[in-house]
Amino acid sequence: MTLSKIPYLLLAVAAVILDQATKLAVLANFQYQERLNIIPDFFDLTLVFNPGAAFSFLADQGGWQKFFFLLLAVLISGYLIRAVIRDDFARWGKIGAAMIVGGAFGNVIDRLLYGHVVDFLLFYWQNWFYPAFNVADSFICVGAVLLVLDGIRNKKTA
């Protein structure tokens, strides 16, 4: 790996550190399902656990999903790291890939340590609630948008 790839590695590591630090702070200060209102009628901090994936997908499947999501995160991260090293993406795509890798590993750490992902950011309006999520999920979502935009902007013809 060349020196030009180090900033992307550092971004991924920073994502993991930020994600884990925020999760540890919430775990140390909240009881399960406790909520602290931050912005009335819009945003709370809370502590919930998600054994599934996004929107609690497969959360009720008895445990096998933990290993499935671990394997999926490792495979996708491996592909993205390889793509960054090979310069398959332009700059914004590499940033997006690094964000996805960092977010994925943040959630992998949770699955290995706790058997589920720690979520704590809860946005809502009146009776509508967006499922609680965490910093790793935020990195993954923003990274995915950057990858798509990079792909559109730097479309390669076959």
Instruction: Give the active site residues.
Output: 119, 137
Would you say 46 and 33 are in contact if contact means Cβ atoms under 8 Å apart? yes
Longest Cα separation, the chain: 54
Q: Give, in order, the Cα–Cα distances in Å from 133 to each of 47, 74, 84.
A: 10, 20, 27
Compute the distance between CA of residue 108 and CA of residue 116 in angstroms, rounded to an integer: 9
Phi, psi dihedral angles at 18 (to 5 degrees): -60, -45
* CB 148, CB 105: distance < 8 Å: no
Provide the 8-state DSSP code for 120. E
Q: 């991260």: which residue's tokens?
A: 77
Q: 97, 88, 84, 91: which is closest to 145 by C-alpha?
A: 97
CA 97 – CA 14 distance, rounded (Å): 13
